[in-house]
């Protein structure tokens, strides 16, 4: 089913808000620096990790034991192919009883499986942050901290936020400030003294100014926003993106719509002296959703380079992934598959292959029509 949206309208809207001129000569950062040596850092961004009850049941391996490693084993080479991989955990780790939609609590075992697959940072600010009240926020943070995985988005109190927000990552003399926000928490109040970073412009502006004091090379916002199942950004996303870019954010990574939305990279040029890159929505990384366009998602890999004091985005690519569900007489098994597994008949059966092909076809057509300067990445071979 072909996606029927106006690429021209989308381009006009986003070019208008970013003050970018079509056809403008691109500025090549490397040409402005005499040094031939460049440091670099690579970042991989991953979409929504959901845990509906069929997924939780599928991970059960004993009376009280759960194992998610098989779910992510085929995508591990992708997740590991970056200096830092960042995911959105759209569930709490509130303990038993486990539950799926509409108020999520997943087994703790999902976190070590993500770490084993190459995940370094987990964002927790989304519309399900308060699903299990104070216990959900507190216990989720405790589990992440006990496993020594970095986190952004929710905090025990103001002291915890002061100590951990923004999150600064630093490698090869390149410093990145990471911020995480959500549009809301499904109407559930944020329990005192805990904090969930919400999209409030005044507080975000203050956070950005705090980040600038730390002199990062790039400021990145991972943001939960938009309208579910809508394939193009809505007016609130466009307004918020303009606000973030105007206040000094360099890269915006979006989640929540559960479908893949376009990706736009405006390169440095003679008027705009900063790279601006927005991924409107990465879609679902793993879920039980099977409606058209929701059964897969995108990963985005961004390479940032630095010569002297000048940092810039060197490359940006996306990879498509799809959720393969293997069903036998007793249970389901979930595997996240990179796009190139479409031809693997031993993993993807005939019925599943039809849905896999449809997702790839629809999503590629959509992104080919609407992306700017971000194309599909090359195959990263599985090295299990």
pLDDT digits (tens, 9 = 90+) for 160-187: 999 999 999 999 999 999 999 999 999 9
What was the pLDDT predicted at 216?
98
Lowest mean per-residue pLDDT among 23-27, 228-232, 308-312, 320-324: 23-27
Q: How confident is the model at residue 34 (pLDDT cuts 50, 70, 90)?
A: very low
Bond preceding residue 369 cis, omega within 30 of 0: no
Q: How confident is the model at residue 1 (pLDDT cuts 50, 70, 90)?
A: very low
Q: Using DSSP bridges, classify how beta strands 39-49 and 296-307 pair: parallel, antiparallel or unpaired.
A: antiparallel
Residue 14 vs residue 73, higher pLDDT:
73
Residue 384 has pLDDT above 60, yes or no: no
Opening angle at CA 42, ends 206 and 78, nearest 5: 120
The predicted model gives 304-323 an average pLDDT of: 96
The predicted model gives 319-339 an average pLDDT of: 91
Q: Which residues of 54-71 are buried (b: 16+ CB within 10 A; e: fewer)?
A: ebbebbeeeeeebebeeb
What was the pLDDT predicted at 156?
98
Q: Residues 181-200: pLDDT tens digits?
A: 999 999 999 999 999 999 99
Residue 90 has pLDDT above 90, yes or no: yes
Opening angle at CA 284, ends 64 and 304, nearest 5: 110
Residue 18 has pLDDT above 50, yes or no: no
- 326 three-state secondary structure: strand
What sign does the dihedral 62-328-102-51 (CA atoms) show? positive
Residue 8 has pLDDT above 60, yes or no: no
What was the pLDDT predicted at 5?
43
What was the pLDDT predicted at 15?
46
Residue 34 vs residue 337, higher pLDDT:
337
- Provide the token pair at 39: 């440091």
Residue 319 near residue 377, CB atoms below 8 Å: yes
Distance CA 270, CA 26 (A): 7
């Amino acid at each position: 089913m072909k996606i029927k949206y106006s690429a021209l309208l989308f381009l006009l809207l986003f070019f208008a808000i970013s003050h970018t001129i079509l056809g403008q000569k691109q500025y090549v950062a490397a040409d402005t620096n005499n040094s031939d040596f460049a440091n670099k850092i690579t970042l991989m961004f991953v979409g929504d990790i959901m845990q509906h009850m069929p997924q939780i049941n599928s991970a059960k391996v004993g009376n009280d034991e759960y194992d998610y490693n098989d779910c992510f084993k085929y995508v591990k080479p992708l997740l590991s192919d970056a200096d830092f991989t960042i995911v959105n955990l759209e569930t709490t780790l509130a303990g038993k009883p486990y539950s799926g939609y509409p108020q999520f609590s997943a087994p703790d075992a999902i976190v070590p499986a993500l770490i084993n697959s190459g995940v370094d940072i987990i964002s927790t600010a989304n519309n399900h942050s308060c699903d299990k009240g104070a216990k959900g926020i507190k216990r989720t943070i405790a589990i992440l901290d006990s496993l020594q995985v970095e986190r952004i988005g929710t905090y025990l109190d103001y002291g915890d936020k002061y100590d951990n927000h923004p999150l600064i990552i630093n490698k090869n003399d390149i410093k990145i400030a990471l911020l995480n926000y959500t549009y809301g928490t499904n109407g559930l109040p944020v329990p005192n003294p805990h904090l969930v970073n919400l999209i409030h412009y005044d507080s975000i502006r203050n956070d950005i100014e705090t980040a600038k004091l730390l002199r990062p090379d790039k400021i990145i916002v991972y943001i939960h926003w938009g309208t579910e199942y809508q394939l193009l950004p809505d007016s609130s996303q466009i307004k918020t993106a303009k606000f973030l870019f105007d206040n000094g954010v360099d890269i915006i990574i979006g989640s929540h719509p559960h479908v893949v939305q376009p990706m736009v990279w405006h390169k440095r040029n003679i008027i705009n002296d900063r790279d601006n890159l927005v991924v409107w929505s990465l879609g679902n990384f793993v879920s039980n959703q099977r409606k058209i366009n929701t059964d897969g998602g995108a990963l985005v890999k961004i390479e940032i380079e630095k010569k002297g004091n000048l940092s810039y985005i060197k490359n940006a690519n996306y990879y498509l992934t799809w959720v393969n569900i293997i069903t036998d007489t007793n249970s389901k098994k979930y595997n996240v598959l990179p796009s190139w597994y479409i031809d693997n008949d031993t993993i993807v059966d005939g019925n599943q292959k039809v849905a896999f092909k449809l997702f790839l076809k629809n999503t590629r057509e959509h992104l080919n029509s609407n992306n700017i300067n971000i194309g599909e990445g090359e195959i990263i071979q599985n090295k299990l």
